[in-house]
Structure 1
């Protein structure tokens, strides 16, 4: 057993060099149940819908014709949407133009990118794209950028 600090440091460095950095994941990370958690992270961290002062508007999950329609237990994420629009059906013109929309997240080695939009009324809304990362605290938003404003 080495007794000098220098010998101990060399031993530790040799151990680190032998293992090397962890490899990056190859290809997209499987989405499975993560779609719901990524959406919930954006509703919590960006829109702040998890507070009593900011209830969520109706939800619109947009699969862009792909058939993507995740079945999420929103209550387990602390959310309660007043209505969930069928993505295959355009809302009737008599319905108020108020909703939050999410497209299917795209997973990569850094976490996920997700596009979202919110409409507060006929001429009031904006689109965003958020980077969401997985960590010890679950999925959290690291940054968002505005993609359009109405």
Structure 2
């Protein structure tokens, strides 16, 4: 009989860690794994070095590629601060510099996650990367990144 309380407590704990559904754009359900923000933050801190005062990030662009993916992240929790969020539907004015850092939705597998990202420093200056991010005792950490395109 002592096993039953342990099983019930374990089930409750697993349910708390499971994927949650929150309302997305237009009230449609949006799945938030709870890890997306941590994976993005790991790349922002470790690859782009945005957690330092001498490397402030450009506007953030979270690209769900029309899927409705739009995580709501508390960037301060990860030691990050983005000055603004880029609206990909709005074309920048000609006097406004074309600057942003983009993160696509992470894809999870048995080794952790892969995430595509890109950064634009100006109209003809930027590059794309794909990073492998792994979960461990210290949270999510970047194990490697490779360049996918250069502009």
TM range, smaller chain: 0.7 to 0.9
**Corresponding residue for residue 40 of structure 1:** 41
Structure 2 SS opposite 1:147: strand
The TM-score normalised by the length of structure 2 is: 0.76
Q: Who wins on radius of gyration, i.e. which is larger?
A: 1
Q: Point out 4+ residue stretches in structure 1 off by more than 6 angstroms.
A: none
Distance 1:39 1:64, change over 3 A: same
Partner of 1:104: 105
- Give the Cα–Cα distance (whole angstroms) in 2 for the partners of residues 86 and 123 of structure 1: 19
Residue in 2 that maps onto 1:26? none
**Are 1:117 and 2:105 matched, yes or no?**
no
1:92 correspondence with 2:96: no
Alignment RMSD: 1.5
Query: 2: distance between equivalents of 1:86 and 1:70?
Result: 15
Mapping for residues 126-145 of structure 1, pairs under 5 Å: 126-145=127-146
Offset of 1:91 from its aligned partner? Answer: 3.4
Q: Secondary structure at the match of 1:64?
A: coil
Normalised by the size of structure 1, how large is the TM-score? 0.77
- Which residue is equivalent to 1:58? 59
CA distance in structure 2 between the partners assigned to 1:51 and 1:91 by the alignment? 29
Instruction: Identify which of structures 1 and 2 has the higher relative contact order when contacts are C-alpha pairs closer than 8 Å and 6+ apart.
Output: 1
Q: Deviations over 1:85-132 (max 9, x none)?
A: 235x23323332011000000001100000000000010000000000
Please list every run of 5 or more consecutive structure 2 residues that lacks an aligned counterpart in the other structure. 1-17, 20-31
